[in-house]
Every structure is written in C-alpha cells, then in structure tokens.
C-alpha cells in the first residue's frame, strides 16, 4: 500500500509541475498572466484529477498482478497434482512398480512394436507364512524390498510390475534367452540375500520362484504371460526357489 501511495503522490507532483510548465509557457504567449485564481487552478486541477485516478490505476494494477501470481501458483499446483495422480494411477502403491493394468498395457505396446525379449513371472515363496507368523507389516516390507530389488536390477527398456499379492513380472527388453536365464538367476540369488527381520530381530529367509518364457517379435502378451505362469507353476511344484524356462 505504501508503494501505491508513493507512486500516486509522485504522479500528482509530476502532473502539477507539468501543468505549471505548460501554463507559464503558453499563457503569456496569449497575453495572459499565471496568477491569482488561474495559478490556483493550475496547481489544484492536476492534483484533484491525478490523485484518485493514479491511486485507482496503481491499486488495480497491484491487485491484478497479485491475482495473476496466485493463478500461476494454482496452475502449477494443479499440474503437479495431475502428474501425481497419473503416477499413482500407473503405479502400485506399496512397491512403486507398474500395476498389473499398466504392465500389461506396456507389454502390449512392446509386442506391437515388434520387440522380442524375456518375460519372467515371479512369486515370493511361502509369503503367506510370513504374514501369518510375523504380521502384515513385515509382509509389506518384504514385498517393498523385493520390488526395490527388481527395479534396481532392471536395465533401460525393461519393464517391471507387481501383478498382485506376492506376484511380480518382468519383461527384459530385447533380451536373448541366455540373458533371460542369467537375469533370472541373479534375481533369485539377490532375493535370497535380502535382509528381512521380524519385529523381534529374527532374520526371515526369502526365496522366489521364477517362470521364464522367451518372447518372439509380435508375441501375444496374454499367451506369453500364461506360458511363463505355467513355468512358474513347474518351479513351485519342483521345490520352489528356482527358475524354470
């Protein structure tokens, strides 16, 4: 407000000086004198006109700038909120991995692009017993640790998702069958090495069964996932904590 008042007074002073300058420059040329009532009007008129007009101008200008700033901030907040919602809609809340719908959508897009690679279907072994013995908080921690591990081992172009419960899936972009198997064994060994502890401090061993299937270009995502699921079932039937391709 002080700034607005200061600008208003400055305009009033400048207007008065301009009025005096004009009067003293032109009135004598027309045979008159700047004195008495004429001098008073020369001073008063610009003050009376400029002060309310200038104050309104500067006040409304400040209000408009404030409104534009608030609007810009609201727009930025809305954009951030929209980005968060988009992220949340695509991601599993617990692990941060792609959710099932998004993973299958990405898999379909890779298939349509003619990409080949390895599809892994993973299931944390004996997960129900972890929940039953140590509580769901410990079970959630186990899933979060596994999710972080899978994400950390992924390379550019790979996609990793949580399909539901203790089930995960990985597509290894343009991977050869050898890389698919090597990556599967790396994941299995890394899960075994996870340090998960119960509330009492007891280390909880983890294992993971993996069904792997190598996808040719233009593969059918549903059929490929079903094939890797069958291999996962074979891995679990054969004793768990192993890879079957």
Task: Report DSSP letters for 93-107, one per residue.
Answer: TTT-SB-HHHHHHHH
Residues with active-site annotation: 166
Q: Which residues make beta-bridge pairs with 169? A: 121, 161
E-only strand ranges, 101-156: 117-124
146 DSSP 8-state letter: H
The β-bridge partners of 213 are: 119
- Neighbour tally for 225: CB within 10 Å: 22
Nearest to 169 by CA among 92, 238, 89: 92
Beta bridge partners of residue 240, listed in sequence order: none
């Amino acid at each position: 407000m002080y700034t607005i008042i200061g600008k208003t007074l400055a305009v009033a002073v400048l207007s008065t000086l301009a009025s005096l300058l004009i009067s003293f420059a032109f009135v004598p040329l027309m045979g008159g004198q700047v004195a008495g009532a004429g001098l008073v009007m020369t001073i008063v008129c610009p003050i009376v006109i400029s002060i309310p007009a200038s104050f309104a101008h500067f006040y409304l200008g400040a209000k408009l700038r404030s409104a534009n700033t608030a609007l810009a901030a609201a727009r930025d907040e809305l954009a951030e909120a929209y980005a968060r919602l988009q992220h949340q809609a695509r991601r599993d809340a617990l692990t941060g991995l792609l959710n099932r719908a998004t993973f299958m959508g990405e898999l379909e897009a890779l298939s349509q692009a003619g990409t080949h690679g390895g599809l892994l279907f993973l299931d944390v072994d004996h997960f129900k017993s972890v929940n039953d013995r140590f509580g769901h908080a410990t079970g959630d921690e186990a899933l979060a640790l596994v999710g972080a591990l899978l994400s950390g081992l992924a390379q550019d172009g790979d996609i990793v998702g949580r399909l539901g419960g203790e089930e995960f899936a990985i597509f290894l972009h343009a991977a050869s069958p050898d890389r698919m198997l090597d990556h599967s064994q790396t994941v299995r060994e890394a899960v075994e090495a996870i340090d998960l502890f119960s509330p009492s401090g007891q280390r909880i061993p983890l294992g993971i069964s993996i069904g792997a299937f190598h996808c040719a270009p233009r593969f059918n995502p549903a059929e490929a996932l079903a094939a890797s699921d069958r291999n996962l079932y074979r891995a679990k039937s054969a004793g768990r904590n192993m890879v079957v391709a």
